[in-house]
């Protein structure tokens, strides 16, 4: 079994929305062979809580434009790890610290990656939390 065309469409749109809000480590995994509950996991990270929330808002807006509404939303108040369940896809937006600690991409490394546009994956290897100050700006000496 592979992800449906609708799931791929939603995953790419979610990844693009996240990238536009400067998310890093944006990836999508086709988990349809492993899980019966969804087709694709979209992962994104941000260096601060405010940016996590901004990414979540952008993803919700973009997917709403495509006629999709989340069935479930978890973690939004804390802004550390927000999960948006759209049935076809599940979007995980994590604070960089949670991203580093839980390393979801390692858990799903045996699943095929969903190809994302180059402008989305350009932020795949952005600096992690220690490279950012409390405001989320690049710290001195880090680009």
Domain-embedded: residue 142: no
DSSP secondary structure of 56-118:
HHHHHHHHHHTT---SEEESTTTTSEEEEE-SSEEEEEEEHHHHHHH-HHHHTTTSPBPP--H
Domain-embedded: residue 141: no
Per DSSP bridges, beta strands 40-46 and 89-95 are parallel
Overall domain count for the chain: 1
* Separation between Cα atoms, residue 20 and residue 119, nearest integer Å: 9
Domain-embedded: residue 37: yes
Domain-embedded: residue 138: no
Residue-level pLDDT at 141: 37
**Cα 116 to chain center, whole Å?**
12
Domain-embedded: residue 143: no
Domain-embedded: residue 136: no
Domain-embedded: residue 135: no
β-partners of residue 132 are 138
**pLDDT tens digits for range 30-81:** 999 999 999 999 999 999 999 999 999 999 999 999 999 999 999 988 889 9
Residue 54: CATH number of its domain: 3.30.460.10
pTM surpassing 0.75?
yes
- Full domain range(s) for residue 16: 5-130
């Amino acid at each position: 079994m592979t992800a449906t065309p609708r799931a791929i469409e939603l995953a790419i749109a979610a990844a693009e929305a996240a990238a536009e809000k400067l998310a890093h480590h944006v990836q999508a995994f086709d988990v349809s062979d492993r899980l019966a509950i969804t087709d694709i996991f979209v992962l994104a990270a941000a260096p601060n809580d405010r940016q996590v929330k901004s990414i979540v808002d952008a993803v919700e807006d973009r997917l709403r434009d495509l006629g999709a509404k989340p069935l479930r939303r978890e973690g939004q108040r804390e802004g550390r790890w927000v999960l948006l369940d759209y049935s076809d896809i599940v979007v995980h937006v994590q604070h960089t610290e949670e991203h580093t600690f839980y390393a979801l991409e390692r858990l799903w490394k045996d699943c095929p990656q969903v190809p994302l546009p180059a402008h989305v994956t350009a932020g795949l290897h952005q600096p992690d939390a220690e490279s950012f100050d409390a405001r989320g700006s690049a710290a001195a000496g880090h680009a």
